[in-house]
A and B are shown apart, each in its own frame.
Chain A
Amino acid sequence: SQKIEQNSEALNIQEGKTATLTCNYTNYSPAYLQWYRQDPGRGPVFLLLIRENEKEKRKERLKVTFDTTLKQSLFHITASQPADSATYLCALEVDYKLSFGAGTTVTVRA
């Protein structure tokens, strides 16, 4: 069966450090992979999309990599700030359906 796994543990980091989140998948061949941010009690908000033929994508302090051989995406938040504290979701698009991982909660300490 298809499976998407994100860091099972919550991530607790010091302000200014880089947070690295992983998204591993099995039995998928996604055309696109997306990352979303979700704050408590709110709907997810889109951050970045990366295509299967792209290795890396950047947006301000965010960087996403996509390795279709390893079936893995890494999501980096550089120079992290307390305002980056949230749950981050990866999502894979296969056959017109976007399937989500359970998310990784990041807490950035001042």
Chain B
Amino acid sequence: EAQVTQNPRYLITVTGKKLTVTCSQNMNHEYMSWYRQDPGLGLRQIYYSMNVEVTDKGDVPEGYKVSRKEKRNFPLILESPSPNQTSLYFCASSLRDRGEKLFFGSGTQLSVL
């Protein structure tokens, strides 16, 4: 089944403790992206990648890192999480970077205490 898989689904952590949210897609998509969703603000793009070893900042990249060493994986790293990073996170992928629909993962609900 074609899908984008994120893990974990729920995560509670404390300020400053490094964490990684994994994202993997099995559709051979070139484009991958991370979004965060907050009430009233909608989905905001954190980082995106147009291909392996190519990443770029979205609208809200501060406090986040990503890497794209393999085509299928695009992990999101929070080196020192803070409470304002408490949010619902979505990974998404598409075949190309333009004019293509995005496939979203099921989301990761992160709480930073």
Q: Which residues of A contact B (CB under 8 A)?
A: 4, 31-32, 34, 36, 41-46, 49, 51, 89, 91, 93, 96-103
Expressed in whole angstroms, the minimum distance between the Cβ of B62 and any Cβ of chain A is 17
Whether, in the assembled complex, B53 has its beta carbon less than 8 Å from a beta carbon of chain A, the answer is no
Mark each residue of chain B from 72 to 113: 1 if its CB lies under 8 Å from any CB of chain A, else 0.
Answer: 000000000000000000101000011101111111000000
Mark each residue of chain B from 36 to 48: 1 if its CB lies under 8 Å from any CB of chain A, else 0.
Answer: 0000111111001
Contact A46 B99, beta carbon cutoff 8 Å: no
Q: Which residues of B contact A (CB under 8 A)?
A: 4, 33, 35, 40-45, 48, 50, 56, 58-59, 90, 92, 97-99, 101-107
Q: Which of A41, A43, A45, A49 has the most CB of B within 10 A?
A: A43
The 6 closest A-B pairs by CB, nearest first: A43-B104, A102-B42, A46-B101, A100-B43, A96-B97, A100-B42
Cα separation A43 to B109 with both chains bound (whole Å)? 12
Contact A41 B107, beta carbon cutoff 8 Å: yes
Expressed in whole angstroms, the minimum distance between the Cβ of B51 and any Cβ of chain A is 11
What are some 26 contacts across the A-B interface (CB < 8 A)? A4-B42, A34-B101, A41-B107, A42-B106, A42-B107, A43-B4, A43-B104, A43-B106, A43-B107, A44-B90, A44-B102, A45-B104, A46-B101, A46-B102, A49-B99, A49-B101, A51-B99, A89-B42, A96-B48, A96-B50, A96-B98, A97-B48, A97-B58, A97-B59, A98-B102, A100-B43
Contact A44 B43, beta carbon cutoff 8 Å: yes
Enumerate chain A residues within 8 angstroms of B97, measured Cβ to Cβ. Answer: 96
Contact A32 B104, beta carbon cutoff 8 Å: no
